[in-house]
Amino acid sequence: MSPSDPATTRTGRPRSTAADAAILEATRALLVELGWSKLTVGDVATRAGVAKTTLYRRWAGKNELVVDAVAVLFDELEMTDRGSLAADVQGVVLQFAALLERPETRTALMAVVAESTRDDSLRRRIRSAIVERQKRLVVLGRERAQARGELRYEDDPSAAAHHADLIFDVIAGAVVHRTLVSAEPVDAAWASSFTALLMLGLAGAQDR
Amino acid sequence: MSPSDPATTRTGRPRSTAADAAILEATRALLVELGWSKLTVGDVATRAGVAKTTLYRRWAGKNELVVDAVAVLFDELEMTDRGSLAADVQGVVLQFAALLERPETRTALMAVVAESTRDDSLRRRIRSAIVERQKRLVVLGRERAQARGELRYEDDPSAAAHHADLIFDVIAGAVVHRTLVSAEPVDAAWASSFTALLMLGLAGAQDR
Amino acid sequence: MSPSDPATTRTGRPRSTAADAAILEATRALLVELGWSKLTVGDVATRAGVAKTTLYRRWAGKNELVVDAVAVLFDELEMTDRGSLAADVQGVVLQFAALLERPETRTALMAVVAESTRDDSLRRRIRSAIVERQKRLVVLGRERAQARGELRYEDDPSAAAHHADLIFDVIAGAVVHRTLVSAEPVDAAWASSFTALLMLGLAGAQDR
Amino acid sequence: MSPSDPATTRTGRPRSTAADAAILEATRALLVELGWSKLTVGDVATRAGVAKTTLYRRWAGKNELVVDAVAVLFDELEMTDRGSLAADVQGVVLQFAALLERPETRTALMAVVAESTRDDSLRRRIRSAIVERQKRLVVLGRERAQARGELRYEDDPSAAAHHADLIFDVIAGAVVHRTLVSAEPVDAAWASSFTALLMLGLAGAQDR
DNA sequence: CCGTAATCGAGACGGTACGTCGTGTCTTAGT
DNA sequence: ACTAAGACACGACGTACCGTCTCGATTACGG
């Protein structure tokens, strides 16, 4: 997971764990100040008080570095129980939108996704560090809704997984598109409209 | 629109219109071969058989150039009348996904969106050249559905516009996210599931 | 000769001749300030007000650059007619020693010679830019001495050339070794002793 | 002399004497393979099977290391008694030239001399390890010649020392210059010409 | 049908960042 | 106290693109 855990660290001076943290912190700070395209590896190293070689020993380049620096921010997303599926979804939508408004993520997320279209290892890194980790929110929301009786239990685990993927792409895609492509704010009104649409879609499926 | 239409045609040698086309064509070809991040302005000029000066006289840089080169591809999207709103939506979803699978758009779209988060003029260029142009599809689909009686007419034009924007973000966002972030194929099965969800959401809203 | 004279300069912006001069001047200045081993190509470019690429377009690296920068200094050597061969030789010895005491040459000459032992093109550059050019002094001295009747005319031109080479190696070698290896001053006393030794060697050969 | 003889042997693990030899041997080997400028301290340590720390505990850097590695080669010079001063000198000239043709010395000697122009401690090291040690040859040659009656005894010891220095600079300088700067071979013909010149110079001084 | 003027190709220019390499120091664990 | 291993801060390397500039050589149009 962390860049500094070789399978077996036997001899020699061990890698500085402080350097890891300082580099990621500096990366986030400079993303805020400069944005993705003006961010340079050299600047990050300088800001972190670290030599460029130290950075390159851990990350292959700017792409990998930024994915790791930003991934942790997505772990801040939480879905507190608001009593109903609609309220839970709306809460997460607003949280996610707020995260995308932050300059670090705003400038970096689409950039690394763009790079990943030509770099499979980067794509895998994004998937494991960001995408798959956050699917937990969909799963959690569904479990709560099922416990409340809002949603039926799905017997086929494969169908359940596909359905979760679909919901995830719809929610994340809509919020990202609204925020970064359409460049319109995700306010309570939009979140409400979107949630209503989604709830109806989900509820309709129950009745078939 | 075209980079070669000065407000007032003056004296002197006129700009070569052949150069415009050659540059955009070369840009698309090199996007396919190299991807966004390895594409260089110098390469484009060389491939187009043109001096760098000639290119820079027309476009401010790589971002603007790529937006113009790629925008035209989105105009290929069409919504042929398939008899029902669901069929129309599914058709457009599959067309849009096919477009995003093409290497030019795949590598370029997210990249320019990422750049646009720090460059307002670029954002406006993307909006006018790509985003707003394709909202026509949502509007057209709604009109057809209304004509068929599948959807009610909305009296409030502002509410209608907001609703169209929402639908657009949901459809475009979901397809983009599925394709580029989740990196899973948009096949007929997925398109069908997604369309079903969306149709239920829209239908439910009619009944309230 | 000059780095900026391609056989045929046809199209494109011509190379700046001012840059050539500024680079060589900066090289000499930095040799004085920093010495050979701390001299960096980047510093030279900065000092010359020139981009590194401009420098690298003209010279392959530090070695070639320094040879050209220093070679011109050797052209300042002159052999004014002091009335006798001994006086002429002593004069040139002192001049040459003074040149080797200058920080530019002191630090650079042995360094490029050392590099040239592994780089034939550099060796050729040194020979043509410095060594062969200064053999003129030996030839001139001999001609004057012959005109004065101090030396016989040598009929065989090949033998004459070999003899000149020998004298050159002896004079230049002794002065360089005294100055840079033994690191002792070449003062009038030493020059006088050396010249005396050499004169006797040359005179003896006349009598055989 | 040896880098591993601390004034007072203290407690703890003693330094490996094998390491000293291996490092110097590796240095010579890599000088042959790579030449001075591509020789790196890290390479030397690796080749010697030793950690960089171990090397740096013994030598301050590349310069000092190479001086020590090469100095020993100069001790191979011998002046066997060939029956006359001229023969002795010619023998030493050819031996010295052969030494300078060896790649280790060829590439290293001028390099360390060049470095020494800016580093007094290095200059002293070169003087004591190489220059002064080899003056023994001049002194020995003079003594033999005096014993044979070829040269007079010099009463003034200071004058004798200066004369020996002069001869040393002339011989060493001429051979070095011929070999490394002029880059011409020191063959028997050249050695013979040079020796003849020198003998006449020395003989003439006797007759005054 | 001639001159003015903006274009064209070519390629040099001053910059900035890249990713790598070498240096000499430091920090481990293991003699 | 030493050893091997290797991470560390630093600084230079030589290359690649950027966007601008200066050339000489082409076009068109307007007088």
pLDDT tier for residue D1 given thresholds of 50, 70 and 90: very low
**D32 part of contact set with chain C, CB < 8 Å:** no
pLDDT tier for residue D6 given thresholds of 50, 70 and 90: very low
Nucleotides of F strand lying within 7 Å of any protein CB atom: 1-24, 26-30
pLDDT tier for residue D17 given thresholds of 50, 70 and 90: confident
Domain spans, chain A = 17-58, 70-207
Is it the case that residue D12 has pLDDT exceeding 90? no
- Quote the tokens at residue C42: 């980047």
Q: Residue C19, CB, less than 7 Å from strand E?
A: yes
Task: Please give the class, per CATH, of domain C70-207.
Answer: mainly alpha
Element (H, E) at B79: none
pLDDT in tens, D101-117: 999 999 999 999 999 99
Contact C177 D173 (CB under 8 A): yes
pLDDT in tens, D25-77: 999 999 999 999 999 999 999 999 999 999 999 999 999 999 999 999 999 99
Q: Residue C204, CB, less than 7 Å from strand F?
A: no
Q: Which of residues 50-79 of B touch strand E (CB under 7 A)?
A: 50-54, 57
Residue whose Cα is closest to the C1' of E3 = B12
Q: What is the mean pLDDT of residues B155-183?
A: 97
What CA–CA distance (Å, rounded) separates B127 from B65? 15
Interface of B with A in 86-125 (CB under 8 A): 106-111, 113-118, 123
pLDDT in tens, A149-171: 999 999 999 999 999 999 999 99
Contact B170 A168 (CB under 8 A): no
Q: What is the mean pLDDT of residues A16-35?
A: 97
Is it the case that residue D207 has pLDDT exceeding 80? no
CA dihedral C195, C197, C199, C200 (to 10 degrees): 160
Is it the case that residue D192 has pLDDT exceeding 70? yes
Is it the case that residue D194 has pLDDT exceeding 90? yes
Residue A81, min C-alpha distance to chain B (Å): 24
Residue B166, min C-alpha distance to chain A (Å): 7
pLDDT tier for residue B1 given thresholds of 50, 70 and 90: very low
Burial readout A23-33 (b: 16 or more C-beta within 10 A, e: otherwise):
bbebbbebbee
Task: Decide: A55 and A41 in contact? Cβ < 8 Å.
Answer: yes
- Identify the weakest region by mean pLDDT among A189-203, B126-140, D2-16: D2-16
Question: What nucleotide is nearest C39 when CA is compared to C1'?
Answer: F12
pLDDT tier for residue D203 given thresholds of 50, 70 and 90: confident
Nearest CA in chain A to B63: A37
Contact D107 C127 (CB under 8 A): no
Q: Which residues of C touch D199 (CB under 8 A)?
A: 201
What CA–CA distance (Å, rounded) separates B30 from B33? 5
Q: What percent of chain B has pLDDT over 90?
A: 90
CATH number for region A17-58: 1.10.10.60
Q: What is the mean pLDDT of residues C143-162?
A: 94
Q: What is the pTM of this model?
A: 0.91
Q: Which residues of A touch B109 (CB under 8 A)?
A: 114
What CA–CA distance (Å, rounded) separates C194 from A25? 70
Contact B177 A183 (CB under 8 A): no
The beta-carbon contacts of B167-170 under 8 Å, at least 24 apart in sequence, are B167/B138, B167/B142, B167/B198, B167/B202, B168/A182, B168/B134, B168/B135, B168/B138, B169/A174, B169/A177, B169/A178, B169/A181, B169/A182, B170/A170, B170/A173, B170/A174, B170/A194, B170/A197, B170/B198
- Identify the weakest region by mean pLDDT among B60-64, D9-13, D69-73, D105-109: D9-13
